[in-house]
């Protein structure tokens, strides 16, 4: 029931009671648009308290207020009955509150150990005691179970390893409140299991964990209490016991979600081949060959580090292959960069919209028209009227919601940022689309909208490749699945063989193609 509020729940194994954090009547507006409206919630010490809701529901805004990143316009926050007036994360840290943000905040030029203890270095006489820092780092890594070298430079790490650095930094502070915003989004299943045990151990030791996650199975496995937000308002706070994914989705959307995936229409086995990859070799790509047909959705699955993203980048020439060929609509694709591929109708939606996809500080309009300025310009001058007309057309086609196309991309929710990339893609009039992690960091409602987009594109004749770490996503969308391991394609599955057990068997196989 909207507005339903529980009195809290019994923590799963908490042993050390402490002070509760109480949020009362908190509201926050950005540019006159309400992000939170009169939200009240109690976060009890020694519990795991999940915040769920669609993108734009207010989860991250509430987390940022709790963590001192931004201040509320109205309302109060108390800790153990004492009012908190925090103006920065450093002030929040003084109260024992630390944050693991969704957007990574590491210093690329520093080492792993330097990032972990940044601002809290072991020092004496104004000098950093590097030996002591390394000893503390080794103890922390052994306790947590992450495989990271202290002297590795942060910029050389994968997204998953950079996420681990953020987690280690928060854990090194011995905080009494830890806010985790999508902490497992970039981790493998093994790493996620390790993280879950860390979260549980924090709660057992009396630490309160505020967990924001789009993975409802993760929420149900970990949380003691679940708060649902919708459009900046509190829907309910309930004990996790007895909750189901279906009941959580209904609370988030205000309606039931009948099916997770759209109907999968069959692809003609004799449809024209739009993409042919032959014996392609590139960094972390080893002799890969396959074809993609018109109207087909081809899934690429595999463990983290299997070479899926590297294969996509080699196909589009973002990295230069050492051998092999790529044929697009029967003609060999050449060139040293992606520009030629885009002009020929081969486009890529990259796995990180922040780092590789969008210009976050530029406007919605500019982000959509960026790849096809030739359509909106003449003699080197952009026609703003034509640009607005075309951008509006493709934003409508991809259901991007933005108060104004003059807004910077960073002001949109994660789901709308992702759909912005689809709008740009459609403007390129592609014949082949490669979507790498197309729903990463996207809520359940926006996921379905993106699934509909991908299916519609295939129905209209595009060849679509979907790369995803979510196996359910690959199985739910793809007509055919390639499984990769160590840069090689270890299996090609179609028809009745597109099953979870078959994909997992191939993902863990040593060699061979079935």
Q: Which two tokens stand for residue 502?
A: 């078959």
Q: What is the 3-state secondary structure (H, E, C) of 17-38?
A: CCCCEEEEEEEEEECCEEEEEE
Q: Domain check: are 373 and 240 in the same one?
A: no
Q: Domain check: are 291 and 216 in the same one?
A: no
Q: Which two tokens stand for residue 487?
A: 């840069």
pLDDT at residue 117 in the model: 83
Is the pTM above the cut of 0.75? no
What is the Cα–Cα distance from 248 to 86, expressed in whole angstroms?
32
Q: Domain check: are 202 and 295 in the same one?
A: no
pLDDT at residue 375 in the model: 83
Q: Domain check: are 212 and 292 in the same one?
A: no
Q: Which two tokens stand for residue 491?
A: 């299996």
263: in domain: no
CB 27 within 8 A of CB 47: no
In Å, how far are 18, 192, 242, 317, 442 from 356, measured between CA atoms? 43, 24, 40, 14, 17
Q: Domain check: are 294 and 425 in the same one?
A: yes
What is the Cα–Cα distance from 268 to 9, expressed in whole angstroms?
53
Q: Domain check: are 223 and 369 in the same one?
A: no
Start-end of H helices in 345-485: 364-369, 384-397, 414-427, 444-459, 471-477
Q: Which two tokens stand for residue 423?
A: 């709008």
pLDDT 10s digits, 65-122: 998 989 999 999 999 888 998 888 888 888 889 888 766 678 888 888 888 888 666 5
pLDDT 10s digits, 409-435: 988 888 889 999 999 998 889 999 999
Contact partners, residue 379, CB within 8 Å, separation at least 6: none
Residue 281 domain boundaries: 273-507
pLDDT 10s digits, 148-197: 888 899 888 877 688 788 878 877 877 788 898 888 776 777 778 878 88
513: in domain: no
Predicted confidence band at 6 (pLDDT cuts at 50, 70, 90)? very low
Q: Domain check: are 245 and 286 in the same one?
A: no
Q: Domain check: are 288 and 435 in the same one?
A: yes
Q: Which two tokens stand for residue 465?
A: 């490749």
What's 244's DSSP letter? -
Q: Are strands 33-43 and 21-30 parallel, antiparallel or unpaired?
A: antiparallel
Q: Domain check: are 96 and 127 in the same one?
A: yes
Of 207, 225, 253, the domain-final residue: 253
Q: Domain check: are 178 and 311 in the same one?
A: no
23: in domain: yes
Predicted confidence band at 227 (pLDDT cuts at 50, 70, 90)? very high
pLDDT at residue 511 in the model: 42
Helix (H) / strand (E) element for 189: namely helix 189-204
Contact partners, residue 288, CB within 8 Å, separation at least 6: 277, 279, 280, 281, 311, 324, 484, 487, 488, 489
268: in domain: no
3-state secondary structure of 75: strand
Query: In 242-396, at which residue ranges do the beta strands (DSSP E only) sit?
Result: 273-282, 285-293, 297-302, 323-328, 331-332, 346-349, 377-378, 381-382
Residue identified by tokens 């529980």 is: 6
3-state secondary structure of 97: strand
Q: Domain check: are 191 and 295 in the same one?
A: no
Q: How many domains does the chain have?
A: 2
What's 219's domain CATH number? 3.40.50.300
Range in 136-145, 418-427, 451-460, 468-477 the model is least confident about: 136-145
What is the Cα–Cα distance from 505 to 503, expressed in whole angstroms?
5
The average pLDDT across 294-301 equals: 96
261: in domain: no
pLDDT at residue 214 in the model: 80
266: in domain: no
Helix (H) / strand (E) element for 363: namely none
Lay out the sheet containing 97-100: strands in order across.
Answer: 4-5, 233-239, 225-230, 48-52, 208-212, 177-181, 97-100
Of 225, 253, 281, the domain-final residue: 253
Of 200, 224, 253, the domain-final residue: 253
512: in domain: no
398: in domain: yes
Range in 11-15, 304-308, 416-420 the model is least confident about: 11-15
CA 326 to chain centre: 29
CB 75 within 8 A of CB 27: yes
Query: In 105-263, at which residue ranges do the beta strands (DSSP E only) sit?
Result: 123-124, 127-128, 177-181, 208-212, 225-230, 233-239
Sign of CA dihedral 111, 114, 117, 122: positive
Residue 323: phi, psi to the nearest 5? -165, 170
Q: Domain check: are 350 and 422 in the same one?
A: yes
For the chain, the average pLDDT equals 85
């Amino acid at each position: 029931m909207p507005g339903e509020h529980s009195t809290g729940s019994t923590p799963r194994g908490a042993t050390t009671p402490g002070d509760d954090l109480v949020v009362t009547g908190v509201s926050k507006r950005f540019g006159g648009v309400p992000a939170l409206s009169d939200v009240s919630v109690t976060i009890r010490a020694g519990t795991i308290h999940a915040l769920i809701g669609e993108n734009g529901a207010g989860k991250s805004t509430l987390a940022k207020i709790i963590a001192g990143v931004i201040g509320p316009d109205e309302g109060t926050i108390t800790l153990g009955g004492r009012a908190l007036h925090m103006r920065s994360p450093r002030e929040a840290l003084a109260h024992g509150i630390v944050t693991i943000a969704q957007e990574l905040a590491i210093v690329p030029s520093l080492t792993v150990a330097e990032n972990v203890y940044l601002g809290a270095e072991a020092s004496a006489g104004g000098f950093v005691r590097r030996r002591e820092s390394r000893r503390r780092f080794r103890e922390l890594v052994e306790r947590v179970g992450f495989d990271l070298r202290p002297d590795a430079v942060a910029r050389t790490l994968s997204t998953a390893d950079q996420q681990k650095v953020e987690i280690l930094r928060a854990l090194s502070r011995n905080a009494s409140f830890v806010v985790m915003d999508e902490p497992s989004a970039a981790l493998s299943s093994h790493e996620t299991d390790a993280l879950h045990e860390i979260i549980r151990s924090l709660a057992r030791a009396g630490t309160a964990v505020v967990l924001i996650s789009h993975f409802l199975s993760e929420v149900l496995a970990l949380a003691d209490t679940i708060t649902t937000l919708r459009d900046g308002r509190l829907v309910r706070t309930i004990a996790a016991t007895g909750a189901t994914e279906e009941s959580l989705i209904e609370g988030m959307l205000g309606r039931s979600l009948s099916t997770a995936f759209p109907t999968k229409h069959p692809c003609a086995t004799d449809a024209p081949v739009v993409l042919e990859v032959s014996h392609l070799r590139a960094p972390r790509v080893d002799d890969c060959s396959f074809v993609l047909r018109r109207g087909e959705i081809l899934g690429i699955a595999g463990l983290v580090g299997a070479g899926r993203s590297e294969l996509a980048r080699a196909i589009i020439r973002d990295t230069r292959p050492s051998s092999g060929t790529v044929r697009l609509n029967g003609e060999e694709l050449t060139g040293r960069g992606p520009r030629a591929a885009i002009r020929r109708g081969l486009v890529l939606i990259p796995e990180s919209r922040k780092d590789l996809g969008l210009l976050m500080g530029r406007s919605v309009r500019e982000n959509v028209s960026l790849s096809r300025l030739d359509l909106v310009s003449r003699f080197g001058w952009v026609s703003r009227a034509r640009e607005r007309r075309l951008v509006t057309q493709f934003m409508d086609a991809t259901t991007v919601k933005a108060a104004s196309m003059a807004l910077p991309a960073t002001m949109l929710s994660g789901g709308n940022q992702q759909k912005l990339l689809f709008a740009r893609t459609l403007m390129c009039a592609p014949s082949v689309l490669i979507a790498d992690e197309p729903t990463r960091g996207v809520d359940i409602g926006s996921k379905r909208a993106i699934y509909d987009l991908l299916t519609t594109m295939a129905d209209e004749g595009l060849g679509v490749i979907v790369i995803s770490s979510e196996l359910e996503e690959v199985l739910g969308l793809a007509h055919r699945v390639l499984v990769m391991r160590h840069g090689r394609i270890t299996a090609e599955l179609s028809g009745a063989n597109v099953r979870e057990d078959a994909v997992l068997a191939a993902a863990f196989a040593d060699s061979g193609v079935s």
